Amino acid sequence: MDTKSKKYKPSKVWAKFFIGVSIIVILISIITLGLNDLEDAKILSRMLFSFDLKDTKGFKEAMAIKFDTLVQHITEDIVPDERFKEEGLDNRGRVFLANEGENLIYYAKDLETGKILTNSKEDISIAEDGSIIMPEGYSYYLFSDNGKFTAQKDNIPLDIYKMKSGYDEVFGNYMYGNEVVLYETQILLIVKDNIVENPYGNSILHMLKMQSSTLKKIALVGLVILCVGIGLLIYTFNRREHKREHDTRIAKVISRISLEIKLLIALLMIIVFFTAGQNRFLLWNHNGYLENILYAIILAFIYFWWIYFVLLDIRVNREKVFSKNVVNWAIRKYKEFESRQPFQRGLLIKDYLTFGIATIVSFAVGIFLYAWGESIFSPVIVVLGIMVPPILITCIHFIKYKRSVDDIGETMVHVERMQTGDMSEALSLRSHSDLYILGENLNEVQLGLNRAIENSLKSEKMKVELITNISHDLKTPLTSITSYADLLSKEDGLPEHVEDYIDILKKKAHRLNILIEDLFDLSKAVSGEMAFKQEAIDLGKLIEQTLGDMEERIKEANLQFRVNIPDSPVNIISDGKKLYRVLVNLIANTLKYTLEGTRVYIDLVLEEGLAFVIIKNIANYEMDFGKDEIMERFVRGDKARSSEGAGLGLAIAQNFTLSCGGDFDMQIDGDLFKVILSFKVH
């Protein structure tokens, strides 16, 4: 339950943010779209927040019209309607004057003719100073006495000539327009304090009062709604992290829309919005007001939120906003198509496509310039217009081709480094490079090789450590066995068969000791812990010395040795003792596995600054193995294991040779077994 609540909490917070902002946007739209300018805003604010109807523009406009109507009736020869003959009014006068009932007392007198027009049943009292003695319940009047204007509200004089901005300007305009005809007349309008409904006619003043009351109620409701909107925004601000989380979700959805579509929608909304703005209606205009103002508010609402979503998209997705477009989509689709093609075919397709685009652009520009060339463009401009586009496209393609060549060069250098064993750095190519996939694959291969080498070294190290530990652990008990065997052999009076047992025990112990020494030496050589002393030695003399030391074993083997050593010294830089061990192991190997009665060849050959020691013999068994297999430790060519040996001789010889600065090679041809050692001559 808690997980589900957390999942939907950002959505709920954002919904409240949406409602709060929408309320404010709609209220602002109503005010701005319903008013023409700043003056209208002032008028509306006074109408909404003034509790005196007589301060509103509607009231003053109505009074100005009534004043004008009264002036026309007293100064012009107007024939009254039969229905209003007693009042001396026509239909227009009836609407603007008589229908007000007790809300309005009007009095007009032509001082030249003595004509009087009034709805008062009593004589109007005008003081000598020109002030009006007001009836009970009336405190507002307008009075023009022979062109001299006075006005009063709540015993406070009003200057109706004062041309200040706002509602008072209305009276100034009307008075100034009737200034010529106001002489030789007295015009008086008295308004009731508490305007009431006229049951016998439609009172405009009462209608204005009701409208003002309605607008005040609407303003109150709007103020409450505005407070709700502000409250929701405050709530959202306190939980802005949840709002931002939902903003990110919205931005991800918007990011899927192409940039061209976003711009097109924005352009259409701007056109529609400004078109609607030119046809808007004033808030107090009744003809078509509701339909048009709602239409404009809806447009403003949609336009605001679209701008918000676009800005949100830019804030969250940043440069990705501009990458999501039709051009990039086409390029991406082309790259997907190209990736499914062989590499060389993809390059050819790119060249063909470049040539095709250049041709189409040149052809299109040529048609355009040809169509308008005679009247606008000169022949030179036509030719340049046809030639420039393909040249530019070709130059762009050449620049990209040069980058591809540079990438090929970097790839080849990287492969050469890998060939020499340098795999410390990965190949870095641009993501839009033609060789990017090849570079990534090559990096994967390099990573795999590094892992394989690392695992191999780790495994090799474990083997060496195991062999070293085993050799060390076996040496101590073997020393005890050898010592006790020597002690037993010195005892007197032992039976003959016991002495034979002791001799066998000593031989096997000696063989085991040699095996342990070989294991220990091999592990030290492989791990690099064995010290090699490099010095100048005569390789020919070293071979002769080795053969001399093994002469007795060679005679017992019933083999013929053919040795070919130059008379002149063959000097090399190596470790004489370790190289002696190599020669001993190789010659001992021939003594074990050479066919009886055959010949063993040992040659020392000089060639191109190198000294080659070649040992050849015919095997006394079928060699059904490869050189890689026989070089493994504990592997013997004699699979029947009828002879003595642990299978370490060749492995030790190879490792010692390499550590002594030489190369070790082996060849198998039928029953012919050949070992080749090579050293640089100094």
**Does residue 373 carry a pLDDT above 60?**
no
Q: Residue 530: its pLDDT value, please? A: 64
- Check whether 8 has a pLDDT greater than 70: no
Is the pLDDT at 646 greater than 60, yes or no? no
Q: What is the rounded CA–CA span in Å between residue 290 and residue 276?
A: 14
- What residue type is 144 in one-letter code? S
CA count, 13 A, side-chain hemisphere, 187: 28
d(CA 263, CA 271): 12
Q: What's the CA angle centered on 318, arms 312 and 320, to 5 degrees?
A: 110
DSSP string covering 181-219: TTTTEEEEEEEESS----TTS--HHHHHHHHHHHHHHHH
Residue 475 has pLDDT above 80, yes or no: no
Question: Residue 611's pLDDT is what?
Answer: 92
C-alpha torsion sign, points 246, 252, 256, 260: positive
210 vs 471, more confident: 210
pLDDT at 83 over 90: no
Q: How far, in Å, CA of 427 to CA of 87, rounded?
A: 106
* Whole-number pLDDT of residue 168: 42
- Give whichever of 83-92, 372-381, 398-407 has the largest mean pLDDT: 398-407
Q: What is the pLDDT of residue 290?
A: 47
Residue range 539-595, pLDDT digits in tens: 889 999 989 888 888 888 888 999 999 989 889 998 888 888 888 888 888 888 888
Cα separation of 368 and 325, whole Å?
Answer: 27
- What integer pLDDT is reported at residue 288 of this predicted model? 42
Which of 626, 633, 635, 641 has the alpha carbon at shortest distance from 673? 626
CA atoms within 13 A on the CB side of 370: 7
pLDDT mean over 163-175: 43
Q: How far apart are CA 348 and CA 344, in angstroms?
A: 6
Residue of 646, 635, 639, 637 whose CA lies nearest to 618: 637
Q: Which of 393, 328, 404, 327 is nearest to 354 (CA)?
A: 393
- How high is the pLDDT of residue 328? 74
**Looking at this protein, which amino acid is placed at residue 439?**
G
Contacts of residue 272, defined as CB under 8 A and 6 or more positions apart, other chains included, come to 299
Number of separate helices (H) and strands (E) present in the chain: 20, 13
Q: What is the mean pLDDT of the chain?
A: 76
Contact 73, 87 (CB under 8 A): no
Q: Average pLDDT, stretch 390-395? A: 72
Residues 6+ apart with CB under 8 A from 626: 668
Alpha carbon distance 604, 612 (integer Å): 6
* Cβ-based neighbour number of residue 581 at 10 Å: 19
- When pLDDT is cut at 50, 70 and 90, the band that residue 384 belongs to is low
Rounded-to-integer distance, Cα 647 and Cα 588, Å = 12
Quote helix, strand, coil % in the chain, to nearest 5.
Answer: 60, 15, 25
Confidence of residue 167 (pLDDT cuts 50, 70, 90): very low
On the question of pLDDT at 286 being above 50, the answer is: no
Asked if the model's pLDDT at residue 35 lies above 60, the reply is no
Which tokens in the block code for residue 423? 């795999």
Closest CA to 369 of 384, 349, 352: 384
Ranking 7-16, 347-356, 591-600, 615-624 by mean pLDDT, the lowest is 347-356
At residue 166, the pLDDT reads 35
Quickly name the fold that domain 456-530 has: Helix Hairpins (1.10.287)
Distance CA 347, CA 333 (A): 16
CATH of domain 535-680: 3.30.565.10
At 232-281, the pLDDT tens digits run 889 888 888 888 888 888 888 887 777 777 778 877 777 766 665 555 43
Are the C-beta atoms of 116 and 109 separated by less than 8 Å? Answer: yes
Residue 361 above 80 pLDDT? no
The answer to whether residue 391 scores a pLDDT higher than 70 is yes
